[in-house]
Structure 1
Amino acid sequence: MSDLMKSIGFRAEALGWDAYQGLFRSMGLERASDYGAKLLRTLGPKVSVHHVARVNMQIAFPEASERELDGLLDAMWDNFGRVVGEFPNMHRFDLGPNSDQVEVVGAEILAELDRQGRPAVLVGGHFANWEMLAAVIVQHMKDCRITYRHANNPLIDKRIIDQRKAYGINILAPKGGHGAKELMQALKAGASVGLMNDQKMNDGIAAPFFGRDAMTAAGPARMALRYDCPLVPMNVVRKDGARFKVTIYEPLPKPAGQDAAAILETVTTINRFIEDRIREAPSQWFWVHRRFEKPLYKMAKAEGA
């Protein structure tokens, strides 16, 4: 594709993004959340990742009936649709201490780390509206580098970064080699880092996840062990509509040393934390990532799962 055609494609996609943002912002927060839920409950089952989500659910809940899985899938799309509707309206959330939209439990853990000037590695997953995790972190810590995945379209990428700045996220670190160096430099300088640790990473390490080995990013574990930082897990749960509870947990236990065994043990501990949160609110995890080996999904599709 020529540079001209690529530029035209980027601009067309950006126009579509702006239309999406404008439509959902015009609705206001509550209506946008409700409309997004309705929309994705209709569209979600028609896309290919619906099959991926079902296979993941079968692995996690082998005793679940097909009817139960259907209900769980419907609820997952409801939740994701709400995320789609809420993202353009994140600036409308009240993140203050007396908010009736976002309850925060364990904020004193972040505040104490910040008071001590002690860096931490914060980990979470794609639950409920996961944008809430970063939004809460920046309310309680002066300096935290938060990872994100670049949008392929640079015009949309800039819009996303600017939008996040509007609700307080001023420091973002890209994923990849450059981002890893930036995060390590941040820890050396006394800043904390925040990462999602629930997706497959092909160049990660195999660690148990719902009874099967799953390639998992080892970066958070490596950084916490190398710099002797607290490994602080976080989670967000949707209580009702566009209302949430964010919980900051006590630091996870870490083994001594930095060898491969210590890293695997720490990654396994993180995976266990993610598993526990999934079991608590299974409809609120974003199930569509291929967390396990590819043949599982092909085999299930061939069998008509």
Structure 2
Amino acid sequence: MGKRLESLALRGLISGLLLLPYAWRVPLCGWVMARIIAPIAGYDRRVRENLALVLPDLPEAEVHRLVRDVPRNVGRTLIEIYSGPEFTARATATPLEGEGLAALDEAHRAGRPVILVTGHFGNYDASRAALIAKGYRVGALYRPMGDPHFNAHYVAAISRIGTPVFPRGRAGLGDMVRFLRSGGMLGLLMDQHMRHGAALSFFDHTAMTALSAAELALKYDALLVPTYGIRMENGLDFRIVVEAPIPRGTPEEMTQALNDSLERLVRDHLDQWFWIHRRWK
């Protein structure tokens, strides 16, 4: 019953915010997350604990800023994902950039599959929206929510940004494989703790990391490409960066390269990564 009430409350908040103009609802949802939800949910403590573990020399003033700015970015991301065409317009407002663009164009022309990997950073769906707008066939792999009612709500939202979307696990495996084999581009996130993953490094600490992105790339001869939606200073627009494809190697080598790619970006934009996750256990 508790989870159901939380779901109803969150859906009510989202529905209310969607009544506001986009330029108001995004910062307001960030404020609500940072000032109301984060302290109650324990996100403030989680941010502090993660920073103390991997960046122990960070000045207290910077830690205090991140305790507020990290959940603010999370809140902005949440309502953006529910904002459909308005969010897509923001994600496509600036040209794509990065060393990997030529490789994506070539793969698209040749019908070669691509695994697009990002993290819970900036807005992780901004690059998917921008690449779909460019004409690429981009699907997404998502982790189903524990609450089936909220999960249906969430899947409807991410589907408005673009389809197809595939649930992680057996339910979506067959459709996902067929999509890849047809030359599609599959977007996924790989920066959360994975109990049965590989013991790799992230911020110089052991982080259990899923090898699935690299394994799929090797199995289906797909490019493995990091891509990110970096939030700009106005809080509403993004830089969409497509990095060069990860060289082929073992799944562990390729996945470590993905961790290193994300770490470099996070170090440059500490407030944009979701430090609220239990990445290190």
Common fold, TM-score beyond 0.5?
A: yes
1:270 to 247, 251, 258: 258
Give a deviation string over 1:135-182, Cα, whole Å, max 9, x none. Answer: 123223543331112123333322322223333x12011012443454
Contact 1:29 1:85 in 2 (8 A): no
Once the two structures are TM-superposed, the CA of residue 20 in structure 1 deviates from its matched residue by 2.1
Tell me the SS of whatever aligns to 1:214.
strand
Once the two structures are TM-superposed, the CA of residue 211 in structure 1 deviates from its matched residue by 1.2
Contact 1:103 1:244 in 2 (8 A): no
> How many Å separate the matches in 2 of 1:170 and 1:51?
36
Alignment of 1:66-215 (within 5 A): 66-95=60-89, 100=93, 102-106=94-98, 107-167=101-161, 169-215=162-208
Structure 1 residues 141 and 120 mapped into 2: Cα distance closer, same or farther (>3 Å)?
Answer: farther
Amino acid at match of 2:223: P
**1:237 to 2:230 alignment:** yes
Query: Residue 273 of structure 2 aligns with which residue?
Result: 285
Runs (5+) with no aligned partner, structure 1: 1-5, 256-261, 294-305
Give a deviation string over 1:208-267, Cα, whole Å, max 9, x none. Answer: 111121110110011112222211110111112211111111101222xxxxxx121111
Once the two structures are TM-superposed, the CA of residue 192 in structure 1 deviates from its matched residue by 2.3
Runs (5+) with no aligned partner, structure 2: none
Contact 1:238 1:284 in 2 (8 A): yes
Give a deviation string over 1:45-66, Cα, whole Å, max 9, x none. Answer: 3432322222222233222122
Amino acid at match of 1:31: W
Amino acid at match of 1:117: G
| Aligned CA-pair RMSD | 2.5
Amino acid at match of 1:281: H
Q: Percent identity?
A: 26
TM-score between the two structures when normalised by the length of structure 1: 0.82
Contact 1:35 1:85 in 2 (8 A): no
Structure 1 residues 208 and 9 mapped into 2: Cα distance closer, same or farther (>3 Å)?
Answer: closer
Q: Which segments of structure 1 move beyond 6 Å, counting only runs of 4 or more?
A: none
Greater C-alpha radius of gyration = 1
Tell me the SS of whatever aligns to 2:186.
strand
Query: Residue 242 of structure 2 aligns with which residue?
Result: 248
TM-score between the two structures when normalised by the length of structure 2: 0.88
Contact 1:109 1:248 in 2 (8 A): no
Amino acid at match of 1:104: L
Tell me the SS of whatever aligns to 1:105.
coil
> How many Å separate the matches in 1 of 2:3 and 2:76?
28
Query: Residue 298 of structure 1 aligns with which residue?
Result: none
Amino acid at match of 2:196: D
Query: Residue 296 of structure 1 aligns with which residue?
Result: none
Amino acid at match of 2:30: A
Number of equivalenced pairs: 277
- Which one is further off, 217-226 or 153-162? 153-162
